[in-house]
Amino acid sequence: MNADRGYPWLKIPTKLPFDPRYGMMSDTAKAVYLELYCLAGQGDSGGLIASAGGGYVLTNSDISFMLHRDPSTFNKILSELEKAKFIQRSGEGWEISGWMDEQGTMSQQDKREAWKQRQKDHRDRLRQEKETRHQEKEEEEEVTQRSRVTEKETVTEAE
C-alpha cells in the first residue's frame, strides 16, 4: 500500500458481532459499516470518512459510488447506521463513532514517523555498540602487543 494512504490495517473490535445494535441491523448495513470503516482508515482523518490521505471529505454521492451502492437506497443505509450509532454526522461529513477509542489517537502518518525514529535509534545503538566493541578489541590488541614487548625486554635483560 502506498505510504500516503492511511492505515494499512484496522482494529475491528471482536465484540462487534455480539453488539445488539449491530445484530439488529440489516446485512447490507453491516457490510456498508465495514466498508465505511475501511474508507475512514484510508482517509486517516480520525474516523472522518474522507478521501485517501484526507484530501477532502467524501459526500454521500462519493461514498455510494466508491462502494458500488445504489444511490437511491444508500441514504436509507446511512440512516440505519446513524440510528444504531455506528456513524454520526460531524460538521464536515460522516464519521465512524468511537474511532479514536478503537484505533488510537495517533494518525497513521505519526505512527510511521515514530516507527522510523525507533528504527533509526535502534540502528544508531547497534552502530555505537559495534564501534565500542571494535575500539575495545583494538585496545586489547594494543595491551597484548605491549605485554609481548615487555616480555621480550624482560627475557633479553635476564639473559
**Quick one: which H or E segment has residue 132?**
helix 108-158
User: Do 146 and 93 share a structural domain?
Assistant: no
User: Do 126 and 64 share a structural domain?
Assistant: no
Question: Rounded to 10 degrees, what is the CA torsion of 89, 93, 97, 103?
Answer: -170
Rounded Cα gap, residues 144 and 125, in angstroms: 28
User: Do 24 and 98 share a structural domain?
Assistant: yes
Per cent of the chain over pLDDT 70 is 84
User: Do 79 and 27 share a structural domain?
Assistant: yes
Per-residue pLDDT of 16-50, as tens digits, reads 999 999 999 999 999 999 999 999 888 888 888 88
155 lies in some domain: yes
The backbone torsions φ and ψ at residue 50, rounded to the nearest 5 degrees and listed phi first, read -130, 170
Domain boundary among the residues 68, 83, 104 is at 104
Per-residue pLDDT of 103-139, as tens digits, reads 876 666 676 677 678 887 788 787 888 888 888 888 8
5 lies in some domain: no
Contact 8, 69 (CB under 8 A): no
11 lies in some domain: no
What are the cell numbers at 96?
A: 465512524
Tally of domains within the chain: 2
Contact 53, 43 (CB under 8 A): yes
pTM confidence score? 0.64
User: Do 74 and 36 share a structural domain?
Assistant: yes
In terms of residue numbers, what domain contains 114?
Answer: 106-159
User: Do 113 and 79 share a structural domain?
Assistant: no
- pLDDT score of 73: 94
Domain boundary among the residues 63, 84, 104 is at 104
**Quick one: which H or E segment has residue 43?**
helix 27-43
User: Do 99 and 46 share a structural domain?
Assistant: yes
3 lies in some domain: no
Helix ranges (H only) for 47-107 are 60-66, 71-83, 99-103
